[in-house]
């Protein structure tokens, strides 16, 4: 997969963000959610879901990977390398936490293949197959076939089994669903609802990616730019 820098798209994103802010995001925003579909309907006991997600950052060695673009899956590879190399120097897995924040153009990594195909995420986010160079129509980083990724166990599901925490930016979903709605002549709120329903299991919706990156650092994580 490859992601190309696109200043025009970035300006479009910021313009849409400003337009959305001018009328308020309440109409498009949905409650913070994480886990399975069943878990998403159950109120979290004590504190917000976001606080509880942050509370799962534990151990002596903690790092947040800031993912504003898919970047050929390298944010996931670096999270796996962080775990592997900590283990290689004698650190037990339970004493390490990796946090991956999917924000801006990085949000499609956290969504199921159905949405990639329906909304043409490959085209929308300039995400191309590394071999064919054609826009991707499915998420290659969720339950992939063995041997298809650059590192073993770097898929999102495998990383989650190793305790990696994933957050996806609510603000980016709000803005990009508005952009998609304008282009496809569809209701932005319905698109966002569809996107939230297709978030991969175990990934938390955070208020914004930049907030999640900040709070993860306040909870002791070092910072790694993975865009």
One-character DSSP codes across 71-98: GGGHHHHHHHHHHHHHHHTT--GGGEEE
CA pair distance 213, 76, nearest whole angstrom: 16
Binned at pLDDT 50, 70 and 90, residue 225 comes out as: very high
Q: 169: left (phi > 0), else alpha (psi -120 to 50), else beta?
A: beta
Looking at residue 33, its pLDDT comes to: 46
Q: Specify the range with the lowest mean pLDDT, choosing from 42-46, 84-88, 134-138.
A: 42-46
Instruction: Kindly report, residue by residue over 9-23, the tens digit of the pLDDT.
Output: 555 555 555 555 444
32 vs 48, more confident: 48
Phi, psi dihedrals of residue 166, rounded to the nearest 5°: -120, 135
- Residues counted in the chain: 227
For the cut 60, the answer to whether the pLDDT of residue 165 exceeds it is yes
Average pLDDT value over all residues in the chain = 86
Domains of the chain: residue spans and CATH? 49-225 (3.40.1260.10)
Looking at residue 39, its pLDDT comes to: 40
For the cut 60, the answer to whether the pLDDT of residue 4 exceeds it is no
Q: Is 35 exposed, middle or buried (0-12, 13-18, 19+ CB in 10 A)?
A: middle
Looking at residue 9, its pLDDT comes to: 58
The first and second tokens of residue 26, run together, are 């309440």
The first and second tokens of residue 186, run together, are 């569809």
């Amino acid at each position: 997969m490859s992601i190309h820098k696109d200043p025009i798209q970035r300006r479009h994103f910021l313009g849409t963000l400003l337009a959305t802010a001018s009328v308020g995001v309440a109409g498009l925003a949905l409650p913070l959610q994480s886990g399975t579909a069943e878990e998403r309907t159950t109120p979290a006991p004590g504190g917000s879901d976001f606080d509880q997600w942050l509370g799962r950052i534990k151990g002596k060695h903690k790092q947040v990977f800031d993912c504003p673009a898919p970047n050929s899956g390298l944010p996931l590879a670096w999270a796996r390398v962080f775990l592997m190399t900590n283990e290689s120097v004698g650190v037990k897995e339970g004493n390490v936490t990796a946090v991956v924040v999917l924000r801006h153009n990085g949000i499609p990594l956290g969504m199921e293949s159905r949405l990639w195909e329906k909304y043409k995420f490959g085209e929308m986010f300039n995400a191309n197959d590394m071999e064919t160079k054609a826009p991707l129509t499915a998420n290659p980083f969720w339950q992939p076939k063995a041997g298809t990724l650059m590192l073993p166990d770097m898929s999102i599901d495998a990383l989650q089994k190793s305790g990696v925490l994933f957050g996806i930016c609510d603000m980016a979903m709000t803005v990009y669903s508005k952009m998609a709605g304008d282009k496809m002549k569809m209701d932005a709120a319905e698109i966002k609802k569809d996107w939230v329903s297709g978030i991969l299991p175990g990934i938390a919706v955070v208020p914004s990616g930049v907030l999640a990156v900040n709070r993860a650092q306040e909870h002791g994580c070092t910072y790694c730019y993975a865009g």
